[in-house]
């Protein structure tokens, strides 16, 4: 099995990306659409949500409820991504040890986490009972 997308840029620094029947616009300058690193952060966090939910189920928390991830990426002097952090909030009210175990499992399950260089794995903080 493989994954495929088609990226087309007619001019400038933006590109339309076609994935199956879906289309997104990404603009490297960030003027007309999210830039490439913003999309990477969004994709990483989006992948992390189901990893958290499954990690919770596997650690005895059947339902996390609402999950919110504030992601941020620090850039180096060359405007390249140097670090990523997630501030995670979920509705379920669990103790710190359980929350840590859920995050550890999410790190194992998240495919984007696995695909990134180790130094770009997100540093995480978790707030439970948040909503």
Task: Express each pLDDT in 38-62 by its tens digit.
Answer: 999 999 999 999 999 999 999 999 9
> What is the CATH classification number for the domain harbouring 57?
3.30.300.20
Looking at the fold, whether 18 and 40 belong to one and the same domain comes out as no
State residue 23's pLDDT score: 97
Supply the DSSP symbol for 123: E
Examine the domain organization and report whether 40 and 87 are in the same domain: yes
Asked whether residue 64 falls in the same domain as residue 80, the answer is yes
pTM of structure: 0.89
Say if residues 32 and 13 touch (Cβ distance below 8 Å): no
User: Sheet containing 123-128: which strands, arranged edge to edge?
Assistant: 67-75, 81-90, 123-128
Give yes or no for a contact between 129 and 92, defined as CB atoms under 8 angstroms apart: yes
- DSSP conformation letters of 32-88: SS--HHHHHHHHHHHHHHHHHHHHHHHTT-S---SEEEEEEEEE-TTS-EEEEEEEE
Same domain as 58, residue 9: no
pLDDT per position as a tens digit, 75-131: 999 999 999 999 999 999 999 999 999 999 999 999 999 999 888 888 899 999 988
User: Collapsing DSSP states into helix, strand and coil, what is residue 113?
Assistant: helix
Residues 75, 23 share a domain: no
**Spatial separation of the C-alpha atoms in residues 31 and 7, rounded to whole Å:** 18
Number of domains in the chain: 2
Same domain, 107 and 57: yes
């Amino acid at each position: 099995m493989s994954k495929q997308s088609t990226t087309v840029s007619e001019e400038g620094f933006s590109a339309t990306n076609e994935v199956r029947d879906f289309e997104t616009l990404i603009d490297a300058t960030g003027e007309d659409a999210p830039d490439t690193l913003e999309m990477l952060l969004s994709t990483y966090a989006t992948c992390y949500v189901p990893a958290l939910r499954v990690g919770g189920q596997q650690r005895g928390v059947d339902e996390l409820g609402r999950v919110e991830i504030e992601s941020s990426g620090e850039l180096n002097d060359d405007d390249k991504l140097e670090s990523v952090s997630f501030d995670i909030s979920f509705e379920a009210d669990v103790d710190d040890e359980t929350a840590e175990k859920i995050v550890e499992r999410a790190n194992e399950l998240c495919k984007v986490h696995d695909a990134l260089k180790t130094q770009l794995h997100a540093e995480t903080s978790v707030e439970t009972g948040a909503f």
